[in-house]
Structure 1
Amino acid sequence: MNSRPTSRSPAMGFIMATVLIDMISVGLIIPVLPQLVGGFAQSPGEQIAAYGTVATAFAIANFLSSPVLGALSDRFGRRPVLLMGFTGLACSFFITAIATQLWMLVVVRLFSGAMNANAAVANAYVADITPPEQRGRRYGLLGAMFGLGFILGPVIGGILGGRYGLRAPFFAAGALAVCNGLYGFFVLPESLPSDRRRAFSWARVNPVASLMHLFELKGIGALLIVIALGSLAQFMLHTTWALYTGHKFGWNPEQIGYSLLAVGVMSVLGQGLLAGPFTKWLGAPRLMVAGMLSSGLCYLAWGLASQGWEMYAAIFANVVGFAAGAAGQTVIANAADPKSQGQTMGAVTGLSSLMMVIAPILGPRLLQPFADLPPTDWRVGMPYYLGGALLLAAAALASVHFARLRRAPAAAAAS
């Protein structure tokens, strides 16, 4: 992959456009992938099990590769690693579109997960070009692009899947990934100057060593558990939303796309408009805690919902949860060394990817025993009860952690 230097100066506009196109292409497939997998199953229970296998394949590969790709971006720059990720996504989407067997979907998701560390590299890109005091606002802008991608992607994917067949969104997603690769090749500048690059070392990039790197960051501590719990809840949502709403409310791909449109709108509103003011008002630590409390209650409301409109009501009520999306990244980025932002963000992504491995095993399996029950049975919401409990526990741990950090300077001065 060509990584020639460019004369353009790195800017937020470049990486925001890259993330937006990337998330649109990913969002396109969300409403239809469970149903595409279901085409190879004989019952709702088999569909859930097969979808869990496909999602787990992506997660395992991403967990193993994210630290490697993050460290490679520290060595060779962000741009070539992003270009490689776009290429991998495009190939995976096109192959998925023509898959005729379940094993083909599993293999291509393994490949896609191994090639894709775009989120980690994009976060490192922002850290490269942003002073610490501005990272809260800029991570909020980046989060808004993720949200905007979820506004456009799932809606377009749902409409394409509902009107032109389940495979149409995968062809569209592949085409967008190609466009993003071309944009990156001809337009996206490199953000990491040569004097801030570090040598690549295999000793630092195995998943366990990468996660241990996070323990070396001062002021992180229990936040590792907080990040893990929050990520597990988030990925349980991702792996069950289409299955859950389809079973409980009978939603088709187009209706699922519109529900994710609501999530995207709130993400853009929260992270694009409110994250900066909220961070300035509360500070990243308090915003992080408040956001997890709000999101935990939102999950519980989803699990208890008996009508589709209640899902929307919970989404719109979770304003603080959406605004807090970038707070954790800000805390970690500010604790990391400027020369290891890629490795650090890769390690955080690796931790999230580990939860992504667990989520499709846990979430769909919690739903599977109740797949043949009436949609009104309260037990159908089991994945969301657990997700809410995880987020509330994470909020409690984070609150205790930040309280200890605030007391530490006073204790040191007294001694």
Structure 2
Amino acid sequence: MTKPAQHGKAALGFIFVTIFIDVLGLGIIIPVLPKLLEQLGHVDISTASQYSGWLTFTYATMQFIFAPVLGNLSDKVGRRPVLLVSLVGFGIDYALMAFAPTILWLFVGRFIAGIAGASTTTATAYIADVSTGDKRAANFGLIGAATGLGFILGIGLGGFLSGVWIRLPFIVAASLALLNAAYGYFVLPESLSLRNRRAFQWKRANPVGSLLRLRNYSRAVSTLITAYTIVYIAQKAVESVLPFYVIEKFQWTTYSIGALGIFIGALIAGIQGGFVRWTIPKFGLQKNIMAGIAFYGIGLLMISLINVGWMMYLCMIPYCLGGIGGTALQGFISDRVPANEQGELQGALTSLVSITTVIGPLLMTSVFHHFTEKGAAIYFPGAPFLLGAILMFISVVLTLRSFKGKEDDSHQIPKTTPHI
């Protein structure tokens, strides 16, 4: 194997670990939050879920604002420095949250984490820099694997470590982030060549402006972006409500939540890291997108209806298979954007996901609270998951409209022209 190939694999490995740690910190607090919020706020589990929604709102708002800023900044100075500084920021954030004396400090921690979490923009741009064609879509599968694995294993790790000490998960996350920053300083090469760099412009780093520029692409792509905006909102039923749901309905402990998280993490790692690398070349991007949305909907519907706790494991199989759609979507869109705008594109897409993270958790936790609070007219803890399944059905309809009458638009050129 040549040195460049070895170097490239080491870089991709670092990007995988970086995204993993970024998302790990978000996932690691999920099993801890119900108990921690009950203790710090002296509230019941239903009310604690609403606090959780607002914490996620804070994180997502900061990510929405800073994702295009860091994406555009990385188009100017390169991907490497932005990634390393963000990792250091994560380490400081988790150390702060480890010793939070009140709920207010949890909000401060989520504020900082949202800014540092915008580095996902730069990481996805890095993948786009070093990948082409089918390899690009397949390598985006590594991002999906790292995201899913970090988020869900974060839940598992948080569940088990909190049994030792409720603050321990944050200390572990801080240590991992700082160690990865030190490791990356020595092994991570710069991926963006000098000829593909461009001047930083604040007007292009505007989060609203970056989203508006997504309209410049073909109608098929724009419709898919709309469909997946709905998908991301629907996903927040699992990401935001799941630990509160299993505690409320099945009286699960943090250890039980952690065990489920490890199971889901293993599923996602296999699907995103391996299975999707077979399905994309075999069936194409469009079929993967459609199948992914359908699997998500089936999984959410099953979760909303089950009455036995162990069936959560069964429900997670179709739900995790839904991840093949997100990987295909990123490859589908990225292929239509010039090399010197990949950072801007990924910043806009990250901002879009952040908007869904602003809307989704508040929506889903409010629905959960409404159907579980004392004196609720209808007691139905599964309501957020049923709502998510309905949203997935709407997304399927939009996606079908996007692909109707088109066998393959993979070579369609965006309506915008590259910036020189």
Same fold (TM over 0.5): yes
- What is the alpha-carbon distance in structure 2 between the residues aligned to residue 46 and residue 207 of structure 1? 32
Q: Which residue of 1 aligns with 2:39?
A: 39
Q: CA deviation at 1:145?
A: 2.7
Cα 1:49–1:21 change in 2 (3 A) is closer
Moved more, 114-123 or 285-294: 114-123
Percent identity between matched residues is: 34
* Deviation digits for residues 84-126 of structure 1 (CA, Å, limit 9, x no counterpart): 2212211211111111111121122112112222322211111
Q: CA deviation at 1:319?
A: 5.8
Q: Which residue of 2 aligns with 1:413?
A: none
Are the equivalent residues in 2 in contact too, given 1:70–1:120 (CA < 8 A)? yes
- What is the alpha-carbon distance in structure 1 between the residues aligned to residue 285 and residue 195 of structure 2? 30
Q: CA deviation at 1:275?
A: 0.6
Q: Which residue of 2 aligns with 1:389?
A: 390
Q: Which residue of 2 aligns with 1:264?
A: 265
Are the equivalent residues in 2 in contact too, given 1:29–1:173 (CA < 8 A)? no
Secondary structure of the equivalent of 1:56? helix
Cα 1:217–1:33 change in 2 (3 A) is same
Q: CA deviation at 1:18?
A: 2.8
Q: CA deviation at 1:136?
A: 1.9
Q: CA deviation at 1:149?
A: 2.9
Q: Which residue of 2 aligns with 1:74?
A: 75
- What is the alpha-carbon distance in structure 2 between the residues aligned to residue 48 and residue 150 of structure 1? 18
- What is the alpha-carbon distance in structure 2 between the residues aligned to residue 77 and residue 343 of structure 1? 13
Gap runs ≥5 in structure 1: 1-6, 410-415
- What is the alpha-carbon distance in structure 2 between the residues aligned to residue 134 and residue 121 of structure 1? 18
- What is the alpha-carbon distance in structure 2 between the residues aligned to residue 262 and residue 374 of structure 1? 35
- What is the alpha-carbon distance in structure 1 between the residues aligned to residue 151 and residue 47 of structure 2? 28
| Structure-to-structure mapping, 1:167-186, within 5 angstroms | 167-186=167-186
Moved more, 62-71 or 234-243: 234-243
Q: Which residue of 1 aligns with 2:236?
A: 235
Q: Note if 1:366 corresponds to 2:385.
A: no
Are the equivalent residues in 2 in contact too, given 1:88–1:116 (CA < 8 A)? no
| Structure-to-structure mapping, 1:86-235, within 5 angstroms | 86-150=87-151, 152-162=153-163, 164-218=164-218, 219-235=220-236
Secondary structure of the equivalent of 2:191? coil
Moved more, 217-226 or 12-21: 12-21
- What is the alpha-carbon distance in structure 1 between the residues aligned to residue 123 and residue 326 of structure 2? 15
- What is the alpha-carbon distance in structure 1 between the residues aligned to residue 191 and residue 270 of structure 2? 27
Q: Which residue of 2 aligns with 1:312?
A: 313
Q: Note if 1:27 corresponds to 2:27.
A: yes
- What is the alpha-carbon distance in structure 1 between the residues aligned to residue 200 and residue 400 of structure 2? 36
Q: Which residue of 2 aligns with 1:250?
A: 251
When the two chains are superposed, the root-mean-square deviation of aligned CA atoms in Å is: 2.3
- What is the alpha-carbon distance in structure 2 between the residues aligned to residue 90 and residue 103 of structure 1? 19
Q: Note if 1:351 corresponds to 2:331.
A: no
Q: CA deviation at 1:8?
A: 5.7
Q: Which residue of 2 aligns with 1:3?
A: none
Letter in 2 for 1:186: F
Are the equivalent residues in 1 in contact too, given 2:134–2:281 (CA < 8 A)? no
Are the equivalent residues in 2 in contact too, given 1:290–1:395 (CA < 8 A)? no
* Deviation digits for residues 184-227 of structure 1 (CA, Å, limit 9, x no counterpart): 22221111111111111111121210101211123412112112
- What is the alpha-carbon distance in structure 2 between the residues aligned to residue 46 and residue 378 of structure 1? 15
* Number of matched pairs: 401
* Deviation digits for residues 271-300 of structure 1 (CA, Å, limit 9, x no counterpart): 122112211122111111111011111101
Cα 1:45–1:146 change in 2 (3 A) is closer
Letter in 1 for 2:13: G
Are the equivalent residues in 2 in contact too, given 1:67–1:210 (CA < 8 A)? yes
